Structure 1
Amino acid sequence: MLRELTGEQRRQLIDTQQVYEAWQRADDQRQRRFAGSMRWVERSGAEYLLRKVRQVENSLGPKSSQTEKAFAAFSEGRVQNKDLLAGLADRLNGLAKVNVAMGLGRVPAIAARILRRCAETDPLGKQLLVVGTNALFAYEALAGVQITSGLTATGDIDLLFDSRRRISFVTGERVSQSGLIGVLRKVDRSFKPLQPRAFRAANRDGYLVDLIRPRARHVLKDNATTSITQLADDLDSAPMKGLQWLINAPKVEAVAIDERGYPVSMPTVDPRMFALHKAWLATRPDRSAVKAMRDREQAEAAARIATGYLALPLDSEHLKGLPGALLDAAAATLSLPGPSGFSEDSPIEPDW
């Protein structure tokens, strides 16, 4: 079920993650320190320094040694920042080709593009978390393994919406202009909700994006925010039982590699809670046999990664205090061997 990365693959993954993290820091500087423009204007016989960000332009004061230094620091810093970003981008392009050649590409390209666009507007990791099958790619990257079966094959991405988390004013302004559906359309213009205010959007290739949230204990008293914006064509999250366990779980984040070899940040839930939730889903009487079998296998994979590679205990001592439904599911579904790296059905002959 699990195959450990080779030493060369691990080195390549670490190099890519480090370069990507450097690019993210530089891009954050671009957006926070060097956004907009500065210019000098003459007013009433004196020169003033103006700073424009988006549609708002403010005066930083009359010309003085202080404002001259601010203008020089901004101008020179932006040039240096752009040069740094260009160099790191070129480095990532080179690493991407090697990543594909070394078999490190895992995350579907469309999913990775969606997550990067979500990250640009900040809700990712704050109000939105990756759950479902795609979360397994994050666990793989954290552990330095790959799940060898078809358990990671998927034609959709599930985004868990946490309405309790607040986002900044700037983020809210960015997102409110187009909503989550606008973010998706920056990736692929063909994305459309299946119906007005639906929880699911699809593109012309049939790739699905689901926005989901925990179902309230008292449905009639559910006053929680259900979407990122109130735009008529934005997605409206679907309430689902059991998601409260995920939304309250500890969070982890990993930089995984997409099919084209490029890195992508994936914020998600603790792999132990993923495993327990999948184990619980497998026991539900309304779950189809095909889905239940896949749930059990995904639960087993996440549990093996958590206990065998990430040193995250999943025993009675650490499970106490969890709901009985999760404990029963864990007992019925999960078996937790050590990190052998191979399963009983692993081939014992080379691919001659």
Structure 2
Amino acid sequence: MRERPADATRQYIDAVATFEAYEDALAEAAKVRGGMYWHKGPASAPDDAYLVRTSASGSEKSLGRRSPETEAMYASFRQRKEMAVERRDGLKASLLKHKRMNRALRVGRVAPIIVDILNRLAATRLGEHFRVVGTHALYAYESAAGMTFEDDAVATRDIDLLWDVRKRVAFATALSKVDVSMLGVLQKVDPTFRIRDAQKYTAVNKDGFEVDIIRRVQVGDDPHPIRLSDEDDDFWVAQAPRAQELLDSAQFSAVIVATNGAMARMNTLEPMAFVRFKQWMSVLPERDPLKRRRDALQASSVEDVVQEYLPQWSQN
């Protein structure tokens, strides 16, 4: 592993500060989605008006007859909305500048498709139902530590997303608001994604990049097998040994940067949980020897990073 150059580190710190401010601005703007308007009263009382709140989905709710209180409510909402939109748009413009600087200073090395997928999951509120596990988690650790792993440790052509089957009802509700299937969500990022015929928990695009969705081994009343939507062509989630341990581990979050300068937040598991999992995989006799060696390399590399750069995570 090697430390990030000083100029790239400074740029990363500034870019992350803007990205996190943009996250806050998006959350604030979400609170004032929709609108308010004055609805005229019936023909029998044409001078009456009622304040109506509209949601982003088009539903409406009356907040009461026009009065000093509803007038103040209307004025406050309009002011909050204008300020939230102005702040969001300003920070979005700043992010574009940071994207160019990130690219010029070679701050990032994550494949852009990863950042695009994570940002799509965040925008649709589906991201809270997944954790990135496997090799791509190393990008979160190295970003937080201000260093980079050797290429052999991070080389991969797939991303593993751990889905929490315990929250399947909430996930189905969230998915229904944005798309008909999880595959459809990925196809908004790259329309060439298709479910593999021989491996239904994997979607692959025209470039051979794969997205795998896994879950814990069936426990209690967990449904099995389970498909992420009612669509025939969607993910059938694969059971993964010891995935419950990964779900139970503390969450680790970091902003990662793509080779084109774009940024996204990656939520994964705390690094020592990753180390323990990879150590276990590295000694599985039935596992491919080449993968076992890479598992051992990743485990030792992340453990070294924790000891030297992230000591606050060493006791987990």
TM-score (norm 2): 0.90
For residues 54 and 285 of structure 2, the distance between their equivalents in structure 1, rounded to whole angstroms, comes to 59
Distance 1:56-1:27 versus aligned 2 partners, 3 A rule:
same
SS at match of 2:61: strand
Q: 1:262-301, aligned counterparts within 5 Å?
A: 262-301=262-301
Q: Measured at CA, do residues 168 and 284 of structure 1 come closer, stay the same or move farther in structure 2, by a change above 3 Å? A: closer
Report whether the alignment pairs 1:86 with 2:89: yes
Which residue identity lines up with residue 148 of structure 1 in the other structure? E
Compute the displacement of 1:120 (Å): 1.7
Q: What are the superposed Cα offsets for residues 40-84 of structure 1, whole Å, 9 maximum, x if unpaired?
A: 221222111212111311111111122222222222322222221
1:302-348 Cα shifts (integer Å, max 9, x gaps)? 1111222110565xxx68xxxxxxxxxxxxxxxxxxxxxxxxxxxxx
Preserved CA contact (<8 Å) 2:175 2:181: no
The corresponding residue for 1:42 is: 40
Q: Deviations over 1:211-263 (max 9, x none)?
A: 00122378xx7536845434333312100213222122121111111121122
Moved more, 57-66 or 129-138: 57-66
What CA distance in whole angstroms lies between the structure 2 residues aligned with 1:118 and 1:79? 26
**Structure 1 runs of 4+ with >6 Å offset:** none
Residue in 1 aligned with 2:21?
22
Separation (CA, whole Å) in 2 of partners of 1:155 and 1:43: 61
The answer for the alignment partner of 1:305 in structure 2 is: 305
Unaligned runs of 5+ in 2: none
Instruction: Name the structure 2 match of 1:4.
Output: 3
Q: 1:79 to 1:197 in 2, by over 3 A?
A: farther
Task: Flag the 1:267–1:313 CA change in 2: closer, same or farther, 3 A.
Answer: closer
Alignment of 1:219-230 (within 5 A): 222-223=222-223, 226-230=226-230
Deviates more, 1:68-77 or 1:184-193: 68-77
The AA in structure 1 aligned to 2:14 is: D
Q: CA deviation at 1:162?
A: 1.1
SS of 1:272's equivalent?
helix
Q: Is the 8 A contact 1:160 1:212 kept in 2?
A: yes
- The one-letter amino acid of 2:308's match is G
Return the offset for 1:145.
0.8
Superposed, 1:103-118 pairs within 5 Å as: 103-118=106-121
Tell me whether 1:152 sits opposite 2:154 in the alignment.
yes
Q: In structure 2, do the counterparts of structure 1 residues 76 and 95 end up closer, same or farther at CA, with 3 Å as the change threshold?
A: same
**What residue is the counterpart of 2:166 in the other structure?**
164
Counterpart amino acid of residue 64 in structure 1: S
Q: CA deviation at 1:268?
A: 0.4
In 2, Cα distance between the equivalents of 1:56 and 1:100?
Answer: 43
Letter paired with 2:35: S
Counterpart amino acid of residue 28 in structure 1 = A
The 1:197/1:132 distance shift into structure 2, 3 A limit, reads closer
Could you say what secondary structure the match of 1:60 adopts? strand
Residue 205 of structure 1 deviates from its aligned partner by: 2.1
The root-mean-square deviation of aligned C-alpha atoms, in Å, is: 2.4
Counterpart secondary structure, 1:223 = coil
Q: Which runs of 5+ in 1 are unaligned?
A: 320-352
- Corresponding position of 1:348: none
- Which deviates further from its counterpart, 221-230 or 84-93? 221-230
